Chains A and B, each alone.
Chain A
Amino acid sequence: MNKYGKPLIKLMQSCLIPLAIACSGLAHAQQNQKLLTPCYVDGLEDRLMCGVIPQPLAKQNGDGTIEIHFAVIPAIKETKPTEAVLAFAGGPGQSAIEVAPIFARNLRYARENRDIILVDQRGTGKSNLLQCDTDNLKEQFAFDDQAVSLFKLAKEETQACISKLSTDLSNYTTVAAASDFEAVRIALGYETLHLYGASYGTRIAQEYMRQFPNSVATAVLDGVVPMQQSLVAIGEAIDDSLAALFQRCAKDTTCKAQYPDLESKYNTLTSKLVEKPIQVSVRHPRTFELIDLVITESKLRGAIRMALYSHTTRALIPLVIDAAHRGNYDPLVGLLGNENTVGAIAMGMHSAITCGEDWPNITDENRTKYKASYFGRLMIDALDASCPLWKVKPVNPDFYKPLNTNIPTMLLSGGLDPATPPSWAELTMVDMHNAKHLIAPTATHGVAAQTCANKLIGEFIDTRSFENLDTTCLEKDNTKQYFMNINGPVASQVSEEL
């Protein structure tokens, strides 16, 4: 059963598709040699050192233990053996170890002298993965999510996942997970850590700073989630990011000529889909067999939303909208089939976070505010359906207090971020006494991966201060030209034939 539910629920619930980042440490391996064994991660040639420690599942004794897996990316030249960079992945639900290649790139300057520690947060990756079943692409394509009640669907999906996992998600919240990271630090023997959190990873990083301030030397929060705000607020950021794209196209003469009235075309298209989904027969993006595709509003918006995360795929959005408006759905099929943008989010763990932390504190006022956007509505509906079933204990209200800290903290935001816009970082740092907010105006989600921020992070970790940090390089425009036709960013020339 539940043939169809998963992908839609996944889309509705996945709040912050993270360009995750994580780190691990190898430094003090000497006395902990037994703890670590060589290991490898797909996409990274370097030899990492992996290990596992048992941790109590619940704060109250009893309840058994959970295995927390971690990996250390060894420093190139270990001049700071007592320090390491601890990287937190996003999602919520991403495995830090799986995205080691991204962390290794984002933290390459920091890694020159320090190990990077990556810990699979409880419920993700190898640390007791809480994953629900997902549909394959063919089923997702054929599913008409407008033909059923979303609420009912979400409930069914959740019920299926609950019986699959049969565990109390209250043990998987941010607050519960923070001590696992501290246990790993102690096991590896590092004295102080530099934190790097991306996306949701910034929330767990802040919680770690709150619970273990003495273990933290510096913190870098990249794509910042404020403690006092629900992830559901993301809907507005998505709309803003898309609006910025429409604006840029309208200002660009070639784009304007090629794709006039892009925004209104998009609106026409979505309202047409709300009325009636479009049913077409298309080629499977991989196998090329003929399959059915029901284009619904959520599928179109979802595909566009995912594409907003990277400039590479943003380049296709005008083409996708324009083509779909004219009845050519191939580019949209391409985006829909481009699954890897989502990455592997552990949906069970994701629900533990969203139901325990993001759902209980939504005031009626915020509810109305968030529902102004399509994705805000979608997420609130999904949470309203699933959270009462998961029965995650709401976190202590203190959790929502902004972090009050003297730890040097660098906050990074992308001006075009479709998830965590710069205003979120401002909200985050209200009680931080030694913090600096850097904005890369043309970056999207995950600034370190797209700009010179990786270098700034290295310098910041070395000096532990913002002085002498030359941040002008963040201003560099890193957008890409939009595709003007299916061949590339060059508009058709006064054409001879092909």
Chain B
Amino acid sequence: MMNLVKVLYKKEMLDASRDKRSVMAGLYYAIGAPIVMCLLFTVLLKQLNSPEALSITIENAGSAPNLVRYLEGHDITHGESGSVKAITLIISKKYPDNMSQGKSAQVTIVADKSDNKLIKSVRRLEGALARYNSEVASLRLISRGIDPNIMRAVTVQTQDQATPDSKGGMFLGIATLSIIIALFYSAMNLAIDTSAGERERNSLALLLSHPLSSTQIVLAKVGAIASYSMIGLVLVLVVSKFAYGMVPWEQLGFSINIDVMFILFCTLLGLPIALMSASLLVFVSFMAKSFKEAQSYVAFVLFVPIGLSMMTTYDIGTDYVQWIPIAAQQYAMIEVIKGNELPIWQVLLSSFSTLGLFAIFAALSSRMLKSEKVVFGL
């Protein structure tokens, strides 16, 4: 019996590989997605980051030469040309008076804080001004014979448990999302072709006329589809490893590092998902009456795993979402890439339930194949 499945599996693999263009079309995602995403990330990082030499407009700079020089020391300068950020620092007319009399001297920052491209630069300016403020205030105290440390009634020492690998936040979510999706997309065409397509080419009935059970046929098809999913997964992981390595994450103080261990882990973790995905796609395709209909249904059904994955990506799920298949596996991937402990129970439970779903969809499909209505698409 297993032998028959093997033979059939080989046939399905051969069949699929013959149509090279459609196989490649499925794998384009796996190759293209990480590259496109990394290009986007690179642009995004550049925009989010404040430029090394920040050029802003400083009004009335002559009234506060010491402050202006301090800002220059932190690479924040007054500029006139095109690269000037839309941030204006206005030094009040009374600045020198107030400074010399120990009154608070005013400077005004004018900027649109809803502009994501500006926000880091604004914060940098605010930070530099805060440090200048505390520097002058400390010197004022020293010149009065007072230890400036008394201004620090409480010293706040933060111990950040994050590592450079774990600070990626949403970037990590998006990266893992693209990996999970590869499992579903790489073999989508193949799944439709081998089920709904086979039916339309009238070769399904021929297949069923052989001394095979419908379960064997379904298992062989699911196996072939899952194999292509896994190829897609490995491909997306390998391409990601190199593509993410090129993104200058370090400028934002973190890195996304896909190592060989992570690739192996994902491959293992992806196996049940690939089986489940394949059986789901076959099931949905057989439910549809025609090839085209199958395409629409499949696209629609894939929203469910993608939705689950999104919940993890944007961290909007409640705690028990972390136990649901797909969401749980992605959560585990994020934890592993962060270097945290592997959430072993989530992984085991979700993997088993994923395999359970695979069994259910496979059983349903094989039951459907016993119905002539399904086989002939009536």
Q: Which A residues are within 8 Å of any B CB, using their own CB? A: 38, 40, 42-43, 45-47, 74-79, 112-113, 282-283, 285-286, 288, 312-313, 315-316, 319-320, 323, 329-335, 337-340, 476-478, 480-481, 483-493, 495-496, 498
Contacts and interface: CB of A to CB of B under 8 A. Distances in A.
Interface in B88-105: 96-97, 99-102
Contact of A486 (B138, B144, B251): B144
Contacts of B143: 316, 319-320, 323, 330-331, 334, 483, 486
Nearest to B159: A40
A478 B74 CA distance: 10
A334 B96 contact: no
Interface of A, helix, strand, loop or mixed by DSSP: loop
B84 interface: no
A329 B143 CA distance: 9
B268 to A, nearest CB: 20
Given A113-B250, A282-B145, A493 B100 contact: yes
A498 B250 contact: no
B150 A490 contact: no
Interface stretch (B226-234, B252-260, B305-313): B252-260
B65 A481 contact: yes
Contacts of B249: 76-77
A47 B143 CA distance: 37
A489 B66 contact: yes
B226 to A, nearest CB: 33
Contact of A76 (B146, B160, B250): B250
Contacts of B15: none
18 contacts: A45-B158, A47-B161, A74-B164, A76-B164, A76-B250, A77-B250, A78-B255, A113-B250, A313-B142, A320-B143, A334-B147, A476-B72, A478-B69, A481-B69, A486-B102, A487-B102, A490-B99, A491-B100
A480 B69 contact: yes
Given A47-B162, A285-B146, A315 B139 contact: yes
Contacts of B144: 330-331, 334, 486
A44 to B, nearest CB: 9
A77 B160 contact: no
A334 to B, nearest CB: 3
Nearest to B157: A42
Contact of A285 (B97, B147, B158): B147
A315 B148 CA distance: 16
Given A78-B257, A112-B250, A481-B66, A45 B140 contact: no
B240 to A, nearest CB: 15
Contacts of B148: 338
B262 to A, nearest CB: 14
A74 B257 CA distance: 14
A487 B142 CA distance: 10
Contacts of A333: 145
A112 B7 CA distance: 53
A488 B140 contact: yes
Instruction: Name, among A315, A489, A498, the residue most crowded by chain B CB atoms within 10 Å (CB to CB).
Output: A489
A201 to B, nearest CB: 24
Nearest to B161: A47
Interface in B45-76: 65-66, 69-70, 72-73
A46 B159 CA distance: 7
Contact of B160 (A45, A288, A323, A487): A45
Interface in B127-175: 135-136, 138-150, 157-164
A144 to B, nearest CB: 20
